[in-house]
Amino acid sequence: MTVPLHADHALVRAARRKEPDAVDWLSEKLEIVPRIIAVLARRKGVRAPEVLADLSQEAVLTALRRLDTYHGLAPLDAWLQRICENTVRGYQRRERLRAANPLEHEPASHERTPDEIAEAEEQRRRVSAAIDAIGGSEAEILRLRYQEGMDYRDIAARAGIPFATCRTRYYRGFQKLRDRLDGDNQEDLR
C-alpha cells in the first residue's frame, strides 16, 4: 500500500526546479523557522537573541541543503519542525562538550599571576602527554583540532577520511583523553 504524498511535496519539487511561485511559497514557509527555534530553545533555557538568530540561520541553511530529503510523507512544516529540533539539540550538545572540554583555552588576560601561568602550562603539558599516549589517528585528530585549531571538515580532508569518520574518531579519542586525564587526577589524590 502506498502512502499518498502531501501537497507540499509537489511544491517543494517545483521550488527545487526554481519555479518562481514555488520559490516564493518556500520562502514564506521558511519564515516560521525563527519562531519554532525560539519556542524550542526557550524551553531549554536559551534566550540570547544572537544565539536564537544563529540557530535560526543554521536551521534554514540545513533545510535548504537537505531539501532533496523531503519525501512528502508529512507537511513541510513537520519536516521543518524536526530540523529545528535537531538544530537545538545539536547546539545543546556542542555547549555541553564546550563546558566539559579540558582542552579549551583560557581567555587571554594580562592579569595572570606567574603561578597561574605555570599551572596552565603544566595542564597543557599533561594534556599533550595524554594525547601522545592515546596514539593513532584519534590522537592526530585531537592534535589538529586543538593545537592547530582546524575544524572537522579540514581535518577530514587532510586525513583523507569521511567527515563522519573524522568526528567519530575525534569523540572516541576525546573520551579516551578524558578517561586518561581523570585517571591522572585520581592518582594525584593518592
Residue 114 lies in a domain: no
Structural domain count of the chain = 2
Residue-by-residue pLDDT tens, the chain, 190 positions:
677 899 999 999 999 999 999 999 999 999 999 999 999 999 998 989 999 999 999 999 999 999 999 999 999 999 999 999 999 999 998 888 877 765 555 555 556 778 877 888 888 888 888 899 998 989 999 888 877 778 888 899 988 999 889 888 888 888 988 888 877 654 443 3
Q: What is the pTM of this model?
A: 0.54
Residue 108 lies in a domain: no
- For residue 20, the enclosing domain spans 7-99
How far is the C-alpha of 15 from the C-alpha of 68, rounded, in Å? 11
Point out the domain boundary residue: 52, 67, 99. 99
What pLDDT sits at residue 186?
46
Looking up residue 72, the CATH number of its domain turns out to be 1.10.1740.10
Point out the domain boundary residue: 36, 65, 99. 99
Residue 2 lies in a domain: no
Looking up residue 137, the CATH number of its domain turns out to be 1.10.10.10
Same domain, 134 and 68: no
